[in-house]
Chains A and B, each alone.
Chain A
Amino acid sequence: MSDVASVSTRLAATGTANALELRGVSKMFGALAALSDVAITVHPGERRAVLGSNGAGKTTLFNCITGDFPPTSGSIRFFGEDITAFPPHERIRRGLRRTYQISLLFTGLSVLDNVYLACRGVSRGRFSFIRPRRSDALMASAENLVEIVHLHDVRDSTVSELSYGQQRQLEIAMALAGAPRFILFDEPAAGLSPTERRELVDILTGLPSHMGYIIIEHDMDVALRVAESVTMMHNGRIFKEGKPAEIEDDPEVQALYLGVNDG
């Protein structure tokens, strides 16, 4: 807690904008408060894990940040810019990315086409009527991303033919398209085999250091290895924030989350 606080005062003093700054964010679904008065500050390059039981509001938090479902009240700043009222595509074009818990892929298109669409989405020529050649710069960066997530062997396969784990990897490749400044990973390890988990940890820890992210993860082994700070959520509120070790040792957290899950 103290470290996070000191980093935050240091950055405030130098005037550097935070990667992400949420103030008083609430999201109501009818009478149900999925998020109430959430405040989170993440610094550029910081890697944060969000933990919490089902229904704690983790995915709703992501949906508010990306604009999939805009918040009912509160403000969201992305690198100093108020993006609260922006439509999703404008936020993405500013360098925000996300993956989805349930893969939202274009199942009728090939792996390479999926990644190419992601690369094209954050660059010019979205409306181009000219077919890309294989020598196209964006096609090359799409090939490169396919390589990074170890999907090169299946790059021309239709997405519906991929295994579940491969689809999760493709999700990540699409989130890395363009020049992301900050990424939201929604349970990327869910349903992966132990080997695939190790690959995932390698991919995440191998990201360039300026690329911060928030990761929602139930698997503490994964979460604590890829994050340098942890936010605990409970019933739509921020419950605890701190370094992974502090959170792990916190008796309240253990009672609420670890104790319940680990039995």
Chain B
Amino acid sequence: MAVFETRWQPARPAGGWREWVEKIPIGYWAVGIILLIMPAGASDFVLFQIFGWTFILGMIALSLMLLGGYGGMVSLAQMSVAGVAGYMVAILGDSAITDISQGWPWFVAIPLALVIAVLFATVTGWLAVRTEGIYTIMITLAIAAAFFYFCRQNYTVFNGFSGFNGVLPPKLFGVDWRGPKAFYYLTLFWAAVSYFAVVYLSRAPFGLALQGVRDNPRRMAALGYDVTAHRVAAYAFAAIPAGIGGILLTWQSAQISPGTVGIGPAIDVLVIAVIGGMRRPVGAFIGAFIYVLFKTFALDVLVALGLSGERFQLLIGLGFLLIVFFSPDGLLGLWDRWQTSLRRDPLTGGERGAP
């Protein structure tokens, strides 16, 4: 025990929060400050369309990163979970379809929408966790497809093909939250909350156990863990960032319709997560940023080159192929490899001292 005590290093030494703040890498400060002061210079289009959308898709991809990266379960139903939350906000709250929308106040409609999204994800997870690998993908894809067709054909609750328009955020604190700057900060706030929650969770018992289940489910059972319950709980938890993303997505375009939750968008979430890399939570947002840039500007670039504008999906597909081909861990994987090669001594090939 003597050895034990001399090596003992408390997690937070006497300095308290100041030392804790100093431990945060400089990169985090730089990104944080840039994101916070961005509205001072950036145009409304960049704030609302590029970054707002990036943060939203990032949150939905983050929920997939949590399941896939930490839990080893690739789910194609995360867009559906987001869609459930988005639809519920429209159905329970206000929209232009007054026959269906209940018009309940936001503080009832939003939490209830999230609860329903969590329930939906729990059922999805409960069906999917009994399978592995490709079969998980198939089941969740089937659920996504079923939800899409159900929304399109059900007119009494989901208003069928046309869905809901005029779904607006509440005018809380007298702010128009769909104004570009306000919406930017709103999405930035929730993206940051989701991101740090997932980062924090990854080292909490639940997150550690989830990674254990990913690496070795049999061993986890032999350590006393209920593997199935852990996997289902991961689906339920992942529904929260996806659900928040879904509500914000509905507010951004002021509408939700079956097209929002179709097979295409469901697969796009996977594409985003893979482009960014599923190893760390930040990959979801990097992937979303690149996807949004492609989706917004590829059309203009193609037209400028004299090609047909509809081919932008082809560009995304090619980019996806290249990334998967050269780095299965996405851009994060490329970045990690570049960092390792920087540390490598060019003469000996060994690692230099810690940077």
Do A and B originate from a single complex?
yes
Distance of A120 Cα from B222 Cα, bound (Å)? 12
Write the chain B residue with the least CB distance to A134. Answer: B11
Inside 8 A of A104's CB, which chain B residues have their CB?
216, 218-219, 222
CB distance from B283 to the nearest CB of A (A): 16
B183-219: CB near A (< 8 Å → 1, else 0) gives: 0000000000000000011011110110110011011
Distance of A128 Cα from B206 Cα, bound (Å)? 5
Inside 8 A of A107's CB, which chain B residues have their CB?
215
With A126-B205, A131-B203, A147-B3 as contacts: A106 and B224 at CB distance below 8 Å = no
A87-119: CB near B (< 8 Å → 1, else 0) gives: 111001100001010001111110001001110
Inside 8 A of A108's CB, which chain B residues have their CB?
211, 215
- B227 engages A89 (CB within 8 Å): yes
CB distance from A136 to the nearest CB of B (A): 10
Write the chain A residue with the least CB distance to B12. Answer: A133
- A109 engages B220 (CB within 8 Å): no
With A106-B216, A135-B10, A143-B4 as contacts: A87 and B206 at CB distance below 8 Å = no
CB distance from B353 to the nearest CB of A (A): 17
Interface residue B334 (Cβ < 8 Å from any Cβ of A):
no
Contacts of B1-60 to chain A: CB distance below 8 A: 1, 3-4, 7-11
On chain B, which size bracket covers the interface?
20 to 34
Inside 8 A of B11's CB, which chain A residues have their CB?
133-135
Write the chain A residue with the least CB distance to B10. Answer: A134
On chain A, which size bracket covers the interface?
35 or more
CB distance from A228 to the nearest CB of B (A): 26
Q: Which of B219, B225, B226 has most chain A Cβ within 10 Å?
A: B219
Write the chain B residue with the least CB distance to A171. Answer: B219
- A117 engages B216 (CB within 8 Å): no
Cβ-neighbour of B221 out of A87, A127, A147 (below 8 A): A87
Interface residue B223 (Cβ < 8 Å from any Cβ of A):
yes
- B204 engages A130 (CB within 8 Å): yes
- A116 engages B208 (CB within 8 Å): yes
Inside 8 A of B212's CB, which chain A residues have their CB?
106, 109, 117
Cβ-neighbour of A89 out of B206, B211, B224 (below 8 A): B224
Interface of B is mostly: helix
Interface residue B138 (Cβ < 8 Å from any Cβ of A):
no
- A105 engages B216 (CB within 8 Å): yes
Distance of A109 Cα from B211 Cα, bound (Å)? 9
Interface residue B233 (Cβ < 8 Å from any Cβ of A):
yes
Interface residue A244 (Cβ < 8 Å from any Cβ of B):
no
CB distance from B347 to the nearest CB of A (A): 24
CB distance from A48 to the nearest CB of B (A): 20
Distance of A133 Cα from B12 Cα, bound (Å)? 9
Distance of A108 Cα from B213 Cα, bound (Å)? 12
Interface residue A132 (Cβ < 8 Å from any Cβ of B):
yes
Write the chain A residue with the least CB distance to B221. Answer: A88
Interface residue A178 (Cβ < 8 Å from any Cβ of B):
yes
- A117 engages B223 (CB within 8 Å): yes
Distance of A107 Cα from B215 Cα, bound (Å)? 8
With A89-B224, A109-B211, A134-B9 as contacts: A127 and B219 at CB distance below 8 Å = no
**Count of chain A to chain B residue pairs whose CB atoms are closer than 8 Å in the complex:** 106
Cβ-neighbour of A147 out of B4, B209, B211 (below 8 A): B4
Write the chain B residue with the least CB distance to A184. Answer: B222
With A108-B211, A109-B211, A134-B11 as contacts: A178 and B224 at CB distance below 8 Å = yes
Distance of A106 Cα from B10 Cα, bound (Å)? 25
Write the chain A residue with the least CB distance to B203. Answer: A131
- B215 engages A106 (CB within 8 Å): yes
- A92 engages B224 (CB within 8 Å): yes
Interface residue A122 (Cβ < 8 Å from any Cβ of B):
yes
- B223 engages A118 (CB within 8 Å): yes
- A152 engages B3 (CB within 8 Å): yes
- A100 engages B10 (CB within 8 Å): no
Interface residue A204 (Cβ < 8 Å from any Cβ of B):
no
Inside 8 A of B206's CB, which chain A residues have their CB?
126-129
CB distance from A148 to the nearest CB of B (A): 11
Interface residue A177 (Cβ < 8 Å from any Cβ of B):
yes
B227-251: CB near A (< 8 Å → 1, else 0) gives: 1001001000000000000000000
Write the chain A residue with the least CB distance to B204. Answer: A131
Contacts of A207-262 to chain B: CB distance below 8 A: none
Distance of A143 Cα from B10 Cα, bound (Å)? 13
Distance of A25 Cα from B223 Cα, bound (Å)? 24
Distance of A67 Cα from B218 Cα, bound (Å)? 10
Inside 8 A of B201's CB, which chain A residues have their CB?
129
B166-177: CB near A (< 8 Å → 1, else 0) gives: 000000000000
With A89-B227, A131-B204 as contacts: A98 and B216 at CB distance below 8 Å = no
Inside 8 A of A87's CB, which chain B residues have their CB?
221, 226
CB distance from A11 to the nearest CB of B (A): 28
Inside 8 A of B209's CB, which chain A residues have their CB?
117, 120-121, 126-127
What are 7 pairs between A and B in contact, CB < 8 Å? A88-B222, A92-B221, A108-B215, A117-B209, A117-B212, A135-B11, A178-B224
Those 10 A-B pairs whose CB atoms lie nearest each other, nearest first: A121-B223, A121-B224, A92-B224, A88-B221, A104-B219, A122-B224, A128-B205, A134-B11, A131-B204, A106-B215
Residues of B within 8 A of A (CB): 1, 3-4, 7-11, 200-201, 203-206, 208-209, 211-212, 215-216, 218-227, 230, 233
With A89-B222, A152-B7 already in contact, 12 other A-B pairs whose C-beta atoms are closer than 8 Å: A67-B221, A88-B218, A89-B220, A89-B225, A92-B224, A100-B219, A106-B211, A108-B215, A126-B205, A126-B225, A131-B200, A135-B11
